[in-house]
Amino acid sequence: MANVNPYLTFNGTCEAAFDFYQSVFGGEFPYKGKYKDMPPGEYPLPDAEKEKIMHICLPIGGGSMLMGSDSSEAFGKATTMGDNIAISINTDSEEEATRLFNGLSAGGRITMPLDKTFWGAFFGMFVDKFGIHWMVNYDYEQAE
């Protein structure tokens, strides 16, 4: 089966965002490359952009990877994605849901507090301090 991995694009805050995500999820970055690491001459970049993140990835469990980069003048500015997409996390326990919700929403804006729902889940939504929309879910009836 195909594996879906969210890829986030930032306007210069990718490294700070991924350091924040690592502080919540844990783990290590298997790859963290900056634009200055690209072979010279392929894409001319202003000096101010060379320290930006070209690509980064963070394993976040279950074989998933959270990936990202900063936009560059050479490739066009990233636009804010608005509210038409969110990263949804399904957890193995209420405790894990609470830990991830509280960690990732710190400094952000909670749009639906984490709580028991009428559909049998422990669920909440927020926008993190980097503008990324998240949903955290724990289903009480786990498939066997």
Q: Are residues 125 and 97 in the same domain?
A: yes
**Which among 42, 70, 98 is the end of a domain?**
70
pLDDT digits (tens, 9 = 90+) for 74-110: 776 767 666 778 999 999 999 999 999 999 999 999 9
Q: Are residues 92 and 133 in the same domain?
A: yes
Distance CA 114, CA 95 (A): 11
Low-confidence ranges of the chain (pLDDT < 50): 144
Residue 80 falls inside a structural domain: no
The total number of structural domains in the chain stands at 2
Q: Are residues 95 and 46 in the same domain?
A: no
What domain range is 131 assigned to? 87-139
Predicted TM-score (pTM) of this structure: 0.88
**Which among 70, 104, 122 is the end of a domain?**
70
**Cα–Cα–Cα angle for 52, 55, 60, nearest 5°?**
120
